[in-house]
Copies of this chain bind each other. A is one copy, B any other.
Amino acid sequence: MRSVTIRDVAARAGVSVATASRVLSGHPATSPASRANVDAAVAELGYRPDARARSLRKTRTGTIGILVSDVRNPFFAEIAYAVERRALQAGMATVVCNADESVDQQDRYLDLLVEQRVDAMVIAPQGDGSGTLREVLGLGIPVVFVDRTLADGSDGSDGSDGSDGSGDVSVPSITSDNRTGLREAVEHLVALGHRRVGLIAGPQETSTGRERLRAYREAAAAGDLDPDPALVAQGDFQHASGVAGARRLLDLDDPPTAIIGADSPMTLGALEVLRERGVRVGEDVSLVGYDDLAAFSLVTPALTVVAHDPARMGALAADAVRDLLAGRPASSAVLPAHLVVRGSTGPARRPA
């Protein structure tokens, strides 16, 4: 059952392959008669053009790749959805890939996307911008970072050894303001009298993980919080590490009176632990989440969260891709994040 090609269509329509191709791609130099014949032949034979062959000859594939860490995280699902939707409007298909918070898998998918010759990529990167990601950036394929970047947000006095190695290639990025969101959260807790505030941090291989941790530390110092390093539990942005992190924090000899989760799956995990232990959220321990999931308003007490806008990030990333593909310079953006105070944060309880 060989599939029907443009040659079959041309034969059936009684025209040359060249003419058939022109009709199919809407080239103006075609007679009405040819058009009718070709269209009829297409319908009769059930012809489906082969996108691979087409794109091999043209330079474009009409496909963009989006590489996020985990589609099961609603935050990234929303981004992927927004990018895809916007891309489809522009007639482009989207390949969604899951790096699964693993650099290896990220590299694997980067290779895949390059080999598929996607026209552009939207990436939520992780790692230090060495290895495969670096190579890929050098290839000249339009890339837009979303949510994360390689270098850190604002200033950057933490560059390990000067020759950072990530900033030489300029990549537009659509991120959100991690510093402000987390700072507001800490200030809010300070105002409520908390002195020992725990953070379930994100992986330090990601800019968001680093920035949120840094903002936490700076705000903690400014608010004169207990700088005990044990108050930072290292997580990996996934559910299980939220569970583990919350347990570790609660098991401290002097446990925190408030906990901040650096993303929503970890926050959910922490919440489960609090429930399981019968800790009253907002009274015994305050909890601040990240990302404003619908479900976060429905738990009791409703969660105080740092909110930002993944749908908008995705849309802007898609716009940036469109600009890049059109040869225009694409602009980066840092979207605002802000604290939404609900019931899960309350006055610090005096340690027993």
A268 pairs with B294, CB closer than 8 A: yes
A159 at the interface (CB under 8 A from B): no
A272 at the interface (CB under 8 A from B): yes
A112 pairs with B93, CB closer than 8 A: yes
A29 at the interface (CB under 8 A from B): no
Interface residues on A, range: 35 or more
Which of B49, B74, B105, B108 is in CB contact (< 8 Å) with A115?
B49
A299 at the interface (CB under 8 A from B): yes
Contact residues of A between 56 and 77, Cβ < 8 Å to B: 56, 61, 63, 70-72, 74, 77
| CB-based nearest B residue for A53 | B56
A152 at the interface (CB under 8 A from B): no
Q: Per DSSP, are chain A's interface residues mostly helix, strand or loop, or mixed?
A: helix
B77 pairs with A115, CB closer than 8 A: no
B81 pairs with A71, CB closer than 8 A: yes
Q: Which positions in A face B, CB cutoff 8 Å?
A: 1, 46, 48-53, 55-56, 61, 63, 70-72, 74, 77-78, 80-81, 84-85, 88, 93-98, 100, 105, 108, 111-112, 114-117, 135, 139-140, 239, 268, 271-272, 275, 293-300
Chain B min CB distance to A84 (Å): 6
Q: Find chain B residues with CB under 8 A from A97 CB.
A: 84, 93-94
Q: Find chain B residues with CB under 8 A from A71 CB.
A: 71, 77, 80-81, 96
Contacts A71-B77, A299-B299 known; 20 new A-B pairs at CB < 8 A: A48-B114, A48-B115, A50-B56, A51-B112, A51-B115, A51-B116, A52-B61, A52-B116, A56-B56, A70-B81, A71-B71, A72-B78, A80-B96, A81-B98, A94-B96, A94-B97, A268-B298, A272-B294, A272-B297, A272-B298
